[in-house]
Amino acid sequence: MKKLVLLLLFVIICLACSEDQDDNPQPNLIIKLNFDPNQQRLDNLGQPATVPDGNAAQTPVVQKMSANYIEFAPTATTLLGQGEIIYEGAETNAGGTMAIDFQQSIFAGDDEVFLSIPLNQVAAGSYEWVRVSLAYQEGDIQVLTENIGEVTGRLASFVGYNNYITEFDLNGSTITVNDDVLQGFWAFEALGFTTQGQAPEGATTVPNPLFDTSPVPQGSCVVTGEFTTPFTLTGNETQDVTVTLSFSINNSFEWTEVNADGKYEPTAGEQVVDMGLRGLVPSVSN
């Protein structure tokens, strides 16, 4: 009888503890992605930029994106890597040199959650800037062909510093690589046909308004954005905090013009020169 009473007391205590835990869940830091076609188009220095003469551009419909690194920086003079690093993606040297492991990347679409971690894993403090090392983006673009006319195709853009890829699915077509590819590698699918290419070295735009005080390595694709007001964590938060990373896709797909008609015509010899996102604006909500 005593054993039965003790067992019942143990069960009651466990249930009470479980209810207390449910009533006091641990808050999370949630990172969401947003792709804004109307956000200002910036250059590498974070200044407003127009499309250069001789080139043309269009705004893609971004379907998903992946990042390899996210860091909160307290001030404009905080060097890369010296802030609060909240995410680092998988890397590998399977291709011969250290590279982003594309097969282990995580992805998110427009207004989707990219990352969720307990807030107690993030140091309390005030952060003015966020840095995001972009790795991959995939979206739809318009292509003008000689025989069919204008068609919609799916573009995969590898904008990370170096990317190890075995294979990936692009709109139902399998693209096999089994090697490292540098920043600017791309693949395109339309009507079941695929093609691949490589943008010129250093051509991918990576906006960094802190170029003078906190530069980033060439080819790293670390985009930098400023919070409107400093993002402050006290360490005593009881609710989830969401940081939305809004990226400018305003005319972010750019090519050299052969026929000056504003249409991307690869069969006419027009070459992709830039696929970089054109700015970052972070915001915070509870």
pLDDT for 5 equals: 45
Burial code (b: 16+ CB inside 10 Å, e: under 16) for 264-286 equals bbbeeebebbbbbbbbbbbbbee
Distance CA 142, CA 59 (A): 9
In this prediction, residue 201 has a pLDDT band, given cuts at 50, 70 and 90, of confident
* Cα-Cα-Cα-Cα dihedral sign, residues 28, 163, 214, 210: negative
Mean pLDDT value across residues 123-138 = 97
Which long-range contacts link 11-17 to residues 24+ away (Cβ below 8 Å)?
none
pLDDT at 3 over 60: no
Give the tens place of pLDDT for each residue, 225-241: 999 999 999 999 999 99
Contacts of residue 11, defined as CB under 8 A and 6 or more positions apart, other chains included, come to none
pLDDT at 6 over 60: no
pLDDT for res 79: 96
pLDDT at 286: 82
pLDDT of residue 22: 53
Q: Residue 19: which H helix or E strand, with range? A: helix 2-23
pTM for this entry: 0.89
More confident position, 70 or 4 = 70
